[in-house]
């Protein structure tokens, strides 16, 4: 089974960089890094966009419906003229009508006809299909061979990460199709598929081997793979009760196509991840380390001491739960840096709430080393200590709270670490 690579860790690191640099005096280098970090974060937080394109009657909307697992897009000869339609994940069915130059409108349910009446530039349909958390489907308007309708197709393909060009198996891969597709950027062509539709029809089946042999010779530099598909048969196979007819699903090409689509989308996601990791390791994380070691702005001696203790005692990021911990106390760090007049009770209460949240999370298990089963108790004990500190006066309780937070960070660095050299255990 093809699985998408996870992006949570990298997104957290990118967001940490953006948060830490948000209020810094900008210069050209920092602005460039922030722009790249924002672009990476958006790419990794959103689904991979799969586009369906082809000439009129090629079966692209039927194919998109098949992969979406829902009969959403109108197919066959019909009078409903639609712009770009995006099928994406949503908790409840909804339809969004969008324009390039004004605010969108959202309606409850799937209402394509009502949406089309608004003459939008695009329509987004949200459905509760888990697979759409990883990929979004872009059904592009059909193009014609004898008019200029191919131009919008070229314009809209810039929004997709992978494309499936649908060619009718009864007259596969005509010169008009080749001419249009040759204008698509090479990087998109390299991660796209040529789907030979109507492969279930007897005339197509009889010539399919010969057609595929020709197309596979011609796909170099144009597509990563050529995939035949009998869409109506695939839909029928998955609709069988009490369970899908998996044998039919495989013989009609449904399984092969689905795997190729997921491979293309996964490859794109891995490419995005590699680019983000490269920037994180070469630029963003070193910048944060340098920023962490910089001299703080002048503050009172006691607050400066606490700031220094928190900044130096917290261990480096090396596991997900530790990253979440450091992100959770970032606001406290900023409070210490920005003011010398902190209300002790409010500060200690904030510390207590954060520790309580993580104590509950640790009790759920699964995020720390099994040998670190003593750590949840350390968080419970820290909660009690922070509560007691609220009844004391002066700066001493604040310093004690900083020490507690730092020690808990050490605990998480050991308990959730994936590096070979784990840090020693410490107690609160």
**Predicted pLDDT of residue 381:** 86
Task: In whole angstroms, give the CA distance from residue 4 to residue 262.
Answer: 8
Task: In whole angstroms, give the CA distance from residue 301 to residue 320.
Answer: 34
**Predicted pLDDT of residue 79:** 61
Kindly state the helix (H) or strand (E) to which residue 114 belongs, with its residue range.
helix 112-117
Task: In whole angstroms, give the CA distance from residue 125 to residue 87.
Answer: 5
Q: What is the pLDDT of residues 145-182, one digit of tens each?
A: 555 667 888 889 999 999 999 999 999 999 989 989 99
Q: What is the pLDDT of residues 243-281, one digit of tens each?
A: 999 999 999 999 999 999 999 999 999 999 999 999 999
Residue 163 to residues 35, 39, 225, 265: CA-CA distances in angstroms?
27, 21, 11, 10
342: pLDDT confidence band, cut at 50, 70 and 90? Answer: low
Sheet holding 122-127, edge to edge: 105-108, 94-98, 122-127, 84-89, 135-139, 48-54, 162-168, 193-197, 225-228
> Other C-beta atoms within 10 Å of 408: how many?
24
C-beta separation of 138 from 156 below 8 A: yes
**Predicted pLDDT of residue 339:** 55
**Pairwise pLDDT comparison (110 vs 304), residue with the higher score:** 110
Q: Please identify which residue in the block is written with the tokens 């799969």.
A: 50
**Predicted pLDDT of residue 350:** 83
Task: In whole angstroms, give the CA distance from residue 274 to residue 270.
Answer: 6
**Predicted pLDDT of residue 315:** 43
Q: What is the 3-state secondary structure (H, E, C) of 48-90?
A: EEEEEEEECCCCHHHHHHHHHCCCCCCCCCCCCCCCEEEEEEC
* Spatial CB neighbours of 31, under 8 Å, sequence gap ≥ 6: none
Give the largest Cα separation in the chain, rounded. 88
Task: In whole angstroms, give the CA distance from residue 105 to residue 118.
Answer: 10
- Paired residues of 196 in beta bridges: 167, 228
Task: In whole angstroms, give the CA distance from residue 48 to residue 261.
Answer: 11
Which pTM value belongs to this model? 0.68
- Cα–Cα nearest to 84, from 61, 105, 58, 63: 61
**Predicted pLDDT of residue 282:** 95
**Pairwise pLDDT comparison (383 vs 147), residue with the higher score:** 383
Pairing of strands 84-89, 122-127: parallel
**Predicted pLDDT of residue 12:** 87
- To which CATH superfamily is domain 47-252 assigned? P-loop containing nucleotide triphosphate hydrolases (3.40.50.300)
* Spatial CB neighbours of 264, under 8 Å, sequence gap ≥ 6: 50, 162, 191, 192, 193, 224
Instruction: Kindly tell me the number of DSSP H helices and DSSP E strands found in the chain.
Output: 18, 9
**Pairwise pLDDT comparison (162 vs 144), residue with the higher score:** 162
**Predicted pLDDT of residue 296:** 47
Among 118-127, 259-268, 333-342, whose mean pLDDT is lowest?
A: 333-342
Here the tokens at position 57 are 């009657």
Q: How many Å is the Cα radius of gyration of the chain?
A: 28
**Predicted pLDDT of residue 336:** 62
**Predicted pLDDT of residue 427:** 43
Distance from chain centroid for Cα 50: 14
Sign of CA dihedral 124, 159, 137, 197: positive
Task: In whole angstroms, give the CA distance from residue 229 to residue 51.
Answer: 17
Task: In whole angstroms, give the CA distance from residue 241 to residue 233.
Answer: 15
**Predicted pLDDT of residue 416:** 61
CA torsion 318-322-323-328 (nearest 10°) is -160
**Pairwise pLDDT comparison (310 vs 238), residue with the higher score:** 238
Q: What is the pLDDT of residues 186-239, one digit of tens each?
A: 999 999 999 999 999 999 999 999 999 999 999 999 999 999 999 999 999 999
**Predicted pLDDT of residue 384:** 81
**Pairwise pLDDT comparison (172 vs 425), residue with the higher score:** 172
Here the tokens at position 49 are 């966009």
Task: In whole angstroms, give the CA distance from residue 102 to residue 118.
Answer: 13
DSSP string for 140-162: PPPB-SSSSTHHHHHHHGGG-SE
Highest-confidence segment of 2-6, 233-237, 294-298: 233-237
418: pLDDT confidence band, cut at 50, 70 and 90? Answer: very low
Q: What's the CA angle centered on 119, arms 115 and 122, to 5 degrees?
A: 70
As a whole number, mean pLDDT of residues 398-418 equals 76
Q: What is the pLDDT of residues 50-93, one digit of tens each?
A: 999 998 889 999 999 999 988 899 887 666 788 999 999 999 99
Q: What's the CA angle centered on 180, arms 176 and 181, to 5 degrees?
A: 115
Report helix, strand or coil for 135: strand
């Amino acid at each position: 089974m093809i699985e998408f690579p996870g992006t949570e860790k990298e997104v957290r690191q990118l967001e940490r960089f953006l948060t830490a640099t948000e209020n810094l005096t900008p210069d050209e280098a920092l602005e460039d890094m922030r722009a790249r970090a924002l672009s990476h974060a958006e790419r990794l937080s959103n689904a991979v966009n799969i586009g369906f394109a082809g000439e009129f009657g090629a079966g692209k909307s039927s194919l998109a419906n098949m992969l979406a697992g829902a009969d959403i897009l109108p197919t066959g000869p019909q009078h409903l003229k639609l712009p770009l339609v995006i099928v994406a994940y949503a908790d409840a069915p909804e339809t969004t009508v969008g324009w390039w130059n004004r605010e969108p409108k959202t309606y409850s349910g799937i209402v394509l006809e009502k949406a089309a009446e608004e003459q939008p530039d695009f329509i987004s349909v949200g459905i509760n299909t888990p697979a759409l958390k990883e990929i979004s489907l872009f059904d592009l308007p059909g193009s014609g061979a004898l008019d200029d309708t191919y131009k919008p197709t070229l314009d809209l393909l810039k929004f997709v990460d992978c494309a499936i060009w649908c060619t009718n198996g009864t007259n596969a891969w005509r010169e008009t199709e080749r001419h249009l597709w040759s204008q698509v950027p090479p990087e998109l062509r390299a991660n796209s598929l040529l789907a030979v539709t109507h492969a279930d029809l007897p005339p197509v089946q009889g010539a399919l081997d010969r057609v595929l042999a020709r197309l596979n010779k011609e796909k170099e530099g144009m597509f990563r793979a050529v995939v035949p598909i009998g869409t109506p048969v695939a839909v029928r196979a998955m609709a069988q009760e009490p369970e899908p007819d998996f044998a039919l699903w495989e013989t009609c090409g449904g399984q092969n196509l689905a795997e190729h689509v997921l491979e293309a989308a996964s490859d794109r996601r891995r490419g995005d991840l590699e680019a983000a990791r490269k920037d994180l390791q070469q630029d963003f994380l070193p910048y944060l380390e340098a920023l962490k070691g910089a001299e703080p702005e002048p503050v009172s001696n006691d607050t400066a001491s606490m700031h220094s203790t928190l900044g130096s005692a917290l261990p480096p990021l090396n596991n997900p739960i530790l990253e979440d911990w450091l992100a959770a106390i970032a606001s406290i760090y900023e409070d210490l840096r920005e003011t010398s007049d902190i209300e002790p009770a409010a500060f200690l209460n904030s510390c207590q709430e954060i520790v309580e949240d993580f104590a509950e999370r640790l009790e759920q298990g699964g995020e720390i080393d099994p040998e670190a089963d003593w750590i949840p108790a350390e968080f419970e004990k820290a909660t009690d200590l922070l509560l007691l500190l609220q009844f004391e006066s002066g700066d001493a309780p604040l310093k004690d709270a900083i020490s507690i937070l730092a020690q808990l960070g050490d605990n998480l660095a050991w308990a959730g670490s994936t590096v070979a050299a784990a840090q020693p255990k410490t107690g609160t």
